[in-house]
Amino acid sequence: MPDFNFEYEAIGQGLAPVVGVDEAGRGPWAGPVVAGAAILDIETLPESLRLGLDDSKKLKAEKREILFDLLLAHAKTGVGIASVQEIDKINILQATMLAMKRAVEDLGITPGMVLVDGNRLPDWPYASQAIIKGDGRSLSIAAGSIVAKVSRDHIMADLAQDHPQYGWERNAGYGTKQQQQGLVEFGICQHHRRSFKPIRKILGI
């Protein structure tokens, strides 16, 4: 389970506040990539929230929604989005880095340390640490992962209202059977990532 060890280490070095950052949506065929940033108050964080936080992929959707609401109430959170057009222009990796930058900027607070899930860091001026599988090791990153995942799921559910044939409210834009069937029957729409191989194949490019 994630804990505050990385956060305590940064705070001990005078690097506060500590921000946890993670992304959601690198793999889907449609929709934006979204990053979440979170600053947790270690002293006042409710026990129910501390014990519930984990890698968002390990949590059921209902649990993520509850934790998301608790984070909005008890933490400082930020969301960053890189659009499908940006993904196609600069590639998914660079778009993910851009979304992370925007999530930290959305906090409106200059961080002392940023803990980032993964093995790459955006090009920014903050003291930072990349932590592989960080969403299962740092509570701040776990919080960021939930903010990213739930925010993106909401975006995809909204897009699904105008494009119900792809099942985005259930598959979040991933290449599931329903999405594939929708693409065969209806073709692509403006929210599909034209730079991704399955979509390029449909387009014949």
CB neighbours (10 Å) of residue 115? 26
Threshold 0.85, pTM exceeds: yes
**CATH number of the structural domain spanning residue 186:** 3.30.420.10
Asked, for residue 13, whether it belongs to a domain, the answer is yes
Asked, for residue 17, whether it belongs to a domain, the answer is yes
Structural domain that includes position 81: 5-200
Q: What's the pLDDT tens digit per position in 78-125? A: 999 999 999 999 999 999 999 999 999 999 999 999 999 999 999 999
Q: What's the pLDDT tens digit per position in 44-79? A: 999 989 999 999 989 999 999 999 999 999 999 999
β 75-82/128-131 pair status: unpaired
β 33-40/18-24 pair status: antiparallel
Count of domains forming the chain: 1
Q: What is the DSSP letter of 22?
A: E
Asked, for residue 120, whether it belongs to a domain, the answer is yes
Asked, for residue 205, whether it belongs to a domain, the answer is no
Strands (E), the chain: 18-24, 33-40, 75-82, 113-117, 128-131
